[in-house]
Chain A
Amino acid sequence: MTRRVAVTGIGVVAPGGIGVPAFWDLLSNGRTATRGITLFDPEGLRSRIAAECDFDPLAHGLDIDVVERADRYIQFALVAAREAVADSGVDFAAEDPWRVAVSLGSAVGGTTRLEHDYVLVSERGQRWDVDHRAAEPQLHRAFSPSTLAADVAERFGAQGPVQTVSTGCTSGLDAVGYAFHTIEEGRADLCIAGASDSPISPITMACFDAIKATSPNNDDPEHASRPFDAHRDGFVMGEGAAVLVLEELEHARARGAHVYCEIGGYATYGNAYHMTGLTCEGLEMARAIDDTLAHARVDPTEIDYVNAHGSGTRQNDRHETAAVKKSLGAHAYDTPMSSIKSMVGHSLGAIGAIEVVACVLALARQVVPPTANYETPDPECDLDYVPRTARPRRLDNVLSVGSGFGGFQSAVLLTGPSGRRRG
C-alpha cells in the first residue's frame, strides 16, 4: 500500500517577523523586509543590503545555554521547529523515537561562526599558521553542518534517520524531498523537515559580490529584490529558517491531527552545465517538475500556483520562466507564479523550506502571495507574476521550484485537502 505524506505542523523564522502569523502578514500584504545590513559593517562591499531577521533568541524561548552554544542558524531552526512541533500537536515523548526522523538543509551551515573565529585565530587575516589558543570552545560545532540536524534531533528526542542536506540553494526543497521519501518508503512515520541559514557575514557577502550575483541597489533596499522585473539586478541576501512536521497520513489521522496538505511528489536533477550559470531553456528544471507531477499523478493543467525560485538575477528568472512553460504548456499562462524572495530575500539553503511553508499557507488561506516590487515586464518573462498584491484564488495543487549553485534543479508538489488524490 502506498504511504502518503501529510504536513501537520509548520514553523518559520523569517525577515520581517518571527513566527507563522507575522510571516503570513508580511507575505499577504506584499511588504518587503529588505534593508541596509546591520549585522556587521558592510563598508566596502558592492552589495550592502539584506533581509535580516530581528531575532532575540531568549525572547523566542531558547535557554541561555543553548544560545551560548548554538550558532545563529541553529537557533533559527530550533525556534522554527518548536513552533512546528507545537502546531502539529505531536507528543514526541509518546512516539516511538526510532520512527522519528530529522531532515534539515543548510547551504553554508556554520560559516558565520567559522569566519568569526577565523578572525580571532589569524589576527585578522595576518597569518596562515593560525593560533588555536584564540579559538572559542564551540568552534568544532561549526565545522560540519551535521550539527544542525543533530541539535534539533536531540531537542525533540528523534532517534531515526537524522540527516543534514546541503545542496546549496536547493537544500531546503531537497531536505523536504528527502523527508518525503523517508516517510513514503517506510523508514519513519514522522519527520522534522526544513532548512536554516544565516549567511549574512562578510565572507558570504564578499563571495557573491565577486560574481555580481547580489543586487547593488544600496540606495533603495526596500525595492532592491525585483524578481521577473525588467530592471532586476541580482538577489538580496536573506536569512531564516522554516520547519515542517511531516507525517504518514494514517498516523496523522489516527491521532486526529489537523492535516494542512500532502506532499504529493518531489524530484531533483542536475543541469551538468555550470556551477553558477543557467541555460535559457530550463530543460532540467522542467524535467524535475514533470517527474514530480507524474509521481503525484497530477496533470500539469491541475497546477493552480507556482512558487518560483525567482531570485531576481537576470538569468534565473528567464531560465525558470522557460522551464515552467515547458512543463505546464499553455496552462503556464493561466497559472499565477510569484517569488516571495521579493519580500524576504534569498536565504540560500533555507529559502526552499521557507517557500514550502509559504505554499502550505497559500493552500490553507486560498491566497497567492504576490511578487513585490514587480513593475516593468521583461519580454523574456511573460507569465503572470502576481504583481505587488496578494490574490485570493482556489488552490488545490501548488508547486514549489528551486535552482541552486552546482546546477541543481528541484521541485516539490503540495496538494490541499480537496486536491486530486493519488490512487
Chain B
Amino acid sequence: MSGHRTRHTAVTGLGVVAPNGLDADTYWKSVKEGASVLDRITREGCEHLPLRVAGEVRGFDPSALIEETFLVQTDKFTHFALAAADAALQDAGLGSSAADSPYSVGVVTAAGSGGGEFGQRELQKLWGQGSRFVGPYQSIAWFYAASTGQISIRKGFKGPCGVVASDEAGGLDAVAHASRAVHRGTDVVVVGAAEAPLAPYSGVCQLGYPELSTEAEPDRAYRPFTQAACGFVPAEGGAVLVVEDLERARRRGAFVRATVAGHAATFTGASQWERSREGLAHAIRGALDEAGCAPEEIDVVFADAMGVPEADRAEALALADALGPHGTRVPVTAPKTGIGRSYCGAPLLDIVAAVQAMEHGQIPPTPGVYDICHDIDLVTARPRPAELRTALVLSRGLMGSNAALVVRRGPGSAV
C-alpha cells in the first residue's frame, strides 16, 4: 500500500522507563555500554518462585511524576506508561497541549498482562475478606486498556484510541497501528507499551512458559545465540513514542528523530520456533516491501533473541532467508540481554535503542553474550561505530506472532 500513501510517519518523541534507565538518555547510555542490570528478583512474595532472575525497574517514584488521583486508580504498568508518555511528549516539544484539536491526537498501547499487582491485591481482598472489600478501581486498573484510557484522559487526547493485547510482537503491531492512524489522517499518536509482570502471582502465571529462564545466576540467565541459551528473562518497563504526520512535524519545526517506514506481522503458532523461521522471514519481506527498502539498505538488526536454541536458529536463518547474503553480513544486536524482556514493552525499547543508535552512529552490543553459535554478525562486548540510516527491529511472541518493523533515521533520510 506504500505506493498510494500520501502521509508518512515521523517519530518525534521518545520516553523510557526501563530497568537500566528511567529516561531515554540514561537508557541509551547503559545500552551503548553493554551493561547488564539483570539481577535476582527482590519483590516481596517472589522469594520462593523458581523464577529467580529478572529485569526490575528500580528507583522509580511515580508520586514525583503523576498526580495522586491517577496513581490510586492505576497499577504499576500504567504508572510506567504515564511517565513514559509524559517524557515522550516533552521530547517531542508537545508538552501538555499537543494539538489544535483534541481529536487529532490518538493513543495506542500494547499490553500483554495488564495490572497484575493491583489485581492480586484486589483478589486477596475478595477471597480473604469478602466481595465488599473489593475497591472501586479494580474494574479500571487490572484490564488491558487501562494505560490507553488513562493517557487519553490525563492529557485530554480524544483521537483514535487502541489497545493491542498481544504477545511481545504486539509492541511492534501497536506502532504500526499508530502509524496507520497517522496515514488515515490523525495528526499525532502517542504509542507504546510498558509492562509490570513481576508481582508474585504474575510470576506464577509465567512459570508455564517453556521458554522462561529459571537459571539463578544473572550472568548466565539470558544468553541467546549461544550454546548456553536457556530461555529468556522477564522484565518490567517499556517505552512510549510520539509519532506524527511527517509534514506536520516539519511545519511545526519539530526535530524528526526517525520515520516509521514499514511493518508486517505473521503468525506461526505458539512455541513453534522452527516454523517461526518462515514466519519471521515473511514478516521481514513484508516490512521491507512496505518501506520500499532493499535488503542491503538495512544497516542494523535489533533481534528478537528469544534465548531458546531452536528459536535463535530460526531467527538467524530467517535473516538469511529474507535478506539473502546480506543476512549474514548485517550487524545484529540484542540489547535486551542486559535488561530482560518486558513482553510488549521489549520491542518498544528496541525501537528507542534503534533510533538512538542511528543518531549516534553506534551499534550497541549484546550484553553478556559471547561464543555465538549461529551464522550472524552479532555485535558483542563493545559498541561498534557505523553509519546507520535504516534499522530493522524484530519481535516474536510466546503465543506465535512474528513482526518486523523498518525504522529510518530522521533528518537527511528521505522516506
Contact = CB atoms under 8 A, between A and B. Distances in A.
Interface of A: 44-45, 98, 102, 106-109, 111, 114-115, 117-119, 121-122, 124-126, 128-132, 135, 137-147, 149-150, 153-154, 158-168, 174, 178, 181, 185-187, 202-203, 205-211, 213, 267-276, 284, 287, 404-408
A267 B156 CA distance: 18
Contacts of A209: 131, 134
Contact of A162 (B146, B155, B265): B265
Contacts of B153: 270, 272-275, 407
B128 A130 contact: no
A276 B158 contact: no
A270 B149 contact: yes
Given A125-B126, A128-B45, A269-B159, A146 B170 contact: yes
A407 B206 contact: no
B111 interface: yes
B279 to A, nearest CB: 7
B67 interface: no
B167 A186 contact: no
Contact of A203 (B1, B48, B122): B122
A268 B204 contact: no
B356 interface: no
Contacts of B279: 159
A404 to B, nearest CB: 8
Identify whether the interface residues of B are mostly helix, strand, loop, or mixed. mixed
A117 B202 CA distance: 11
B140 interface: yes
Given A166-B144, A406-B152, A132 B49 contact: yes
Given A124-B127, A275-B153, A203 B49 contact: no
Contacts of B106: 270
A44 B130 contact: yes
B259 interface: no
B167 A144 contact: yes
A98 B283 CA distance: 10
Contacts of B132: 44
Interface of B: 1, 44-50, 73, 102-103, 106-107, 111-113, 119-120, 122-132, 134-136, 138-140, 142-146, 148-150, 152-153, 155-167, 170, 173, 177, 180, 200-209, 264-270, 279, 282, 343, 397-401
Nearest to A185: B1
Contacts of A275: 73, 140, 146, 149-150, 153
A284 B139 contact: no
Given A124-B128, A125-B124, A269 B103 contact: yes
Contact of A125 (B73, B123, B145, B149): B123
A40 B221 CA distance: 42
B170 A163 contact: yes
18 contacts: A114-B119, A115-B123, A122-B201, A132-B48, A139-B207, A143-B112, A150-B167, A154-B269, A161-B173, A167-B145, A167-B163, A168-B149, A270-B148, A270-B152, A272-B152, A275-B153, A405-B143, A406-B152
A128 B158 contact: no
Name, among A106, A160, A167, the residue most crowded by chain B CB atoms within 10 Å (CB to CB). A167
A119 B208 CA distance: 17
B201 A108 contact: no
B400 A154 contact: yes
Q: With a 10 A CB-CB cut-off, give which of A124, A165, A273 has the most chain B CB atoms.
A: A165
A143 B113 contact: yes
Contacts of B135: 210
A115 B116 CA distance: 12
Given A267-B160, A406-B146, A211 B165 contact: no
A150 B400 contact: yes
Contact of A161 (B143, B152, B267): B267
B149 A407 contact: yes
B204 A159 contact: no
A409 to B, nearest CB: 9
B134 A206 contact: yes
Nearest to B49: A132
B148 A284 contact: no
Contact of B204 (A139, A165, A207, A276): A139
A164 B164 contact: yes
Contacts of B158: 269-272, 284, 287
A138 B205 CA distance: 9
Contacts of A287: 103, 158
A121 B127 CA distance: 12
B50 A132 contact: yes
Nearest to A209: B131
A162 B134 contact: no
Contacts of B107: 270
A193 to B, nearest CB: 14
B180 A185 contact: yes
A204 B408 CA distance: 44
A115 B124 CA distance: 10
A135 B266 contact: no
Contacts of A165: 162-165
Given A124-B128, A130-B45, A143-B206, A272 B157 contact: yes
Contact of A145 (B1, B144, B209): B144
Given A128-B44, A130-B45, A203-B126, A147 B399 contact: yes
A344 B167 CA distance: 31
Contacts of B145: 107, 166-168, 404-406, 408
B208 A137 contact: yes
Contacts of B130: 44
A130 B48 CA distance: 9
B152 A159 contact: no
A406 B149 contact: yes
Contacts of A203: 119, 122-123, 126, 134, 138
Contacts of B1: 185-187
A130 B172 CA distance: 33
A332 to B, nearest CB: 22
Nearest to A44: B131
Contacts of A159: 266-268, 279, 282
Contact of A144 (B112, B138, B146): B112
Nearest to A168: B145
Contacts of A121: 201, 204
With a 10 A CB-CB cut-off, give which of A98, A128, A162, A186 has the most chain B CB atoms. A162
A170 B268 CA distance: 28
A185 B180 CA distance: 10
Contacts of B180: 181, 185
A207 B138 CA distance: 6
Contacts of B139: 207-208, 210-211, 213, 276, 405
A202 B126 contact: yes
Contact of A131 (B48, B149, B269): B48
A119 B138 CA distance: 17
A3 to B, nearest CB: 10
Nearest to A147: B399
